[in-house]
Amino acid sequence: MSHYGVEPADKPKALTSQAIKALRHEEVKGISRRRLLRTTIGAGFGLWLLEVTAGTLSFLWPNLEGGFGGKVSVGTFDTLKNQNAALPFSEGYPVYVQEARAFIMLVDPTRPEFSVGEDSTGDGTALNVRALYQRCPHLGCKPNPCIKTYWLECACHGSRFDRVGTKADGIGPAARGMDRFALQVDDDGLLTLDTGKITLGAPPIALGQPGIEAPRAATGCI
Ligand code: FES
């Protein structure tokens, strides 16, 4: 109690029902808890929607842009040969094209050229070129071409494929050869892969049987 009999300015008043009602309708200074909660939930939902939209767009973008998932022009025979000058591409060695995630090779290396045409099965014999999807059919590792054997060797579990992707029966766990992309060679010799159209690789063939090329050396690279 004050010695001078002065009442404190903010002396609490009795909370009558009328006072409570007035407080409820009174404009809250700053931001109310309810509004803060609504704003936070709204912002969270907005962020989630943005992420979903961005993810969907980035998934579809390659198709729209002609990247992996759609048609990819990889160049003519000479373009690939010049881009891989250190590798014997014209002798049938598989070369890698990152943009298409594919290994590309001549089917018949005695004819160092592509032939005009289209092949939706990806076999490529008529066009004299084949394009293999980079994923090993076992568990998806990327096999590497071996310069000694010309074969593709999967380092993960030891599957071996000849240079055109035929699986060597009994060597490694892959159940089929490497998968192939549909392809087309136009009148100017330009090779285009349809990376959205994949044909599964053929069943394995035992070494020494027709349909699989023998390795060019007794030992591989791995
Ligand atoms: S992923 Fe290639 S052999 Fe297993």
Provide the pLDDT for residue 40: 76
- For a ligand 1 pocket test, name from 138, 161, 222 the mutation site with the most ligand atoms within 8 angstroms of its C-beta: 138
- The fold adopted by the segment(s) 66-199 is Rieske Iron-sulfur Protein (2.102.10)
Q: What are phi and psi of 97, to 5 degrees?
A: -120, 105
Nearest Cα residue to atom 1 of ligand 1 = 139
Q: Which residues share a beta bridge with 199?
A: 180
- For a ligand 1 pocket test, name from 156, 160, 167, 171 the mutation site with the most ligand atoms within 8 angstroms of its C-beta: 156
Per-10-residue mean pLDDT, the chain, length 222: 56 71 70 74 72 58 70 98 98 98 98 98 98 98 98 98 98 98 98 98 98 97 94
- C-alpha torsion angle, residues 110, 93, 222, 217 (rounded to 10): 20
Report CA(134)–ligand 1 centroid distance (Å). 12
Pocket of ligand 1 (CB under 6 A): 136, 138-141, 154, 156-159, 172-174
Provide the pLDDT for residue 154: 98
**What residue segments make up the domains of the chain, in order of their start?**
24-64, 66-199
The first and second tokens of residue 215, run together, are 């390795």
Q: What are phi and psi of 126, to 5 degrees?
A: -65, -30
Checking DSSP bridges between strand 129-133 and strand 102-106, what pairing results, if any? antiparallel
Provide the pLDDT for residue 27: 66
List of residues 6+ apart from 156 with CB closer than 8 A? 136, 138, 139, 141
Q: Which of 173, 200, 99, 103 is nearest to 142 (CA)?
A: 103
- For a ligand 1 pocket test, name from 133, 144, 152, 157 the mutation site with the most ligand atoms within 8 angstroms of its C-beta: 157
